[in-house]
Structure 1
Amino acid sequence: MKALPESEISDAMLYYEQYFYEGQLTDGQAVSEFGTPKNLARRLVADYYMDEARDVPEENQKSPLGLAKIIILALLASPILIPVAITVIALIFAIVVTFAALAFSLIVLLGSFGFAAVICVIGGILVLTQSVLGGLFYIAAGIAVIGGFILLWPLVMSMVKGLKHWVFVMIRWIGKKTVGRKGVQDDA
């Protein structure tokens, strides 16, 4: 439970101590109801971060991979749900790879425009000695593409940030479907 703030740790310890005392549970009964202490701690950490991810403003959210790690740890806390955890790992991997491919393709597309613009300007300078109008055309076209590159750069970067946000939303949705508000759902 080291990943939790001190106040959350003390609140959780107090709650479960009272629950065990009032319910007069033996160690065996507590383990059968909540799992091992390690599994219970994983579920508590996952619950905390799932609730936190819902309430934190978008600019302060944890990374999608950090949230995915917490969801997977919570699923692995229950041996019954290991097949579900494997499926979730595969699904999260597919989402992250898709995001990376889309982001990479957008950046490569923009980079190719920048490279084409530079080649066009250099080619126009070289053509100037043979044809002034042809050289000026290529130089103007290169400068226009450079202008487009400069205008498209913020748009592409905001698209990449938007893709990252949607990956986070999808991973959080997967977490809500597999890790409930009260821990791992055992009705799988």
Structure 2
Amino acid sequence: MLMENSIYFTQVKVYLSQLTVDEQEDVIRFYQEYAADAQLSGERLISELGTPKQLARRILVDYSLRLEEDDIHNTYEHESTRQDRQNWIKQEFNLISIVLEGLLTSIVWVPAMLLILICLFATIGIAAIVIVALIYYLLTGLFQIFGGLAILSSNWATGLYQGGIGLIIVGLQFVAWPVGVTIIRTVFRALMRFVKYVGRRFSHKGKEVTHHA
């Protein structure tokens, strides 16, 4: 039993390279004690905790979710610099990657993985459409202004009208861009809520043991 468990947890540790040595040892010790208390080994151990790779992926997902909740979310809510926002976005995409990698370890979770990918591409598509639309109308406004200035000497009425329309369009950008950013953030947050929901279901796997200290 001890030999079988030792091999199992050695393999688990191989897949936990993203954690520090201390974190790896802490997690492995937790599951070793759980396996010993529950007298799990061999097929029973795999049935309870999954393969070494599956357990490691659940650990990484759970760890990343708790890290995001403890640190990154608070940083984002109170961010004051561009670096804060960049760090938050990087952390969120890293979380998506970890969750997707975890879901790949079990065919049961493939539909959830595909749904996350669909939502991710939809989010990127919405963000691209919003940004392109905002840039298009900004350029349209500038074109109207310069066009109005170009014909102002020959037809001042048309020039003023065209230039005025351009100024209105450009002025609306001060409202349109914040609204556009809000739309993108809202859609992205909805995506992350779904990713975290799936991640929690996967990492817990319906068993309290997966929510380690």
TM-score range, shorter chain: 0.7 to 0.9
Tell me the alpha carbon deviations over residues 18-63 of structure 1, each in whole angstroms, 9 at most, x when there is no partner: 3344455545543443333333222211221233334345214764
Return closer, same or farther for 1:34/1:110 CA change in 2, 3 Å cut-off.
same
Return closer, same or farther for 1:30/1:134 CA change in 2, 3 Å cut-off.
same
**2:99 is the counterpart of 1:71:** yes
Return closer, same or farther for 1:19/1:183 CA change in 2, 3 Å cut-off.
closer
In structure 1, runs of 5+ residues without a counterpart are: none
Query: Normalization by structure 1: what TM-score?
Result: 0.78
**2:47 is the counterpart of 1:19:** no
Q: Which residue of 1 aligns with 2:154?
A: 130
Partner AA of 2:167 in structure 1: I
Which moves more between the two structures, 173-182 or 101-110?
Answer: 173-182
Q: For residues 19 and 93 of structure 1, what CA distance do their matches in structure 2 show?
A: 34
Q: Which residue of 2 aligns with 1:167?
A: 191
3-state secondary structure, aligned to 1:53: helix
Return closer, same or farther for 1:162/1:10 CA change in 2, 3 Å cut-off.
same
Q: For residues 37 and 19 of structure 1, what CA distance do their matches in structure 2 show?
A: 15
CA contact (8 A) 1:47 1:183 kept: no
Q: Which residue of 2 aligns with 1:113?
A: 137
1:130 Cα offset (Å): 2.6
Tell me the alpha carbon deviations over residues 120-140 of structure 1, each in whole angstroms, 9 at most, x when there is no partner: 112212322332122112112
Q: Which residue of 2 aligns with 1:8?
A: 23
Question: How many residue pairs align between the two structures?
Answer: 181
Q: For residues 152 and 136 of structure 1, what CA distance do their matches in structure 2 show?
A: 24
Q: For residues 160 and 97 of structure 1, what CA distance do their matches in structure 2 show?
A: 13
Tell me the alpha carbon deviations over residues 73-114 of structure 1, each in whole angstroms, 9 at most, x when there is no partner: 33333xxx40x3321121011111211121111112211211
Return closer, same or farther for 1:99/1:48 CA change in 2, 3 Å cut-off.
same
Percent pairwise identity: 25
Greater relative CO, 1 or 2 (CA 8 Å, sep 6+): 1
Q: For residues 24 and 102 of structure 1, what CA distance do their matches in structure 2 show?
A: 51
Q: Which residue of 2 aligns with 1:35?
A: 50
**2:64 is the counterpart of 1:49:** yes
Q: For residues 33 and 85 of structure 1, what CA distance do their matches in structure 2 show?
A: 17
Which moves more between the two structures, 87-96 or 28-37?
Answer: 28-37
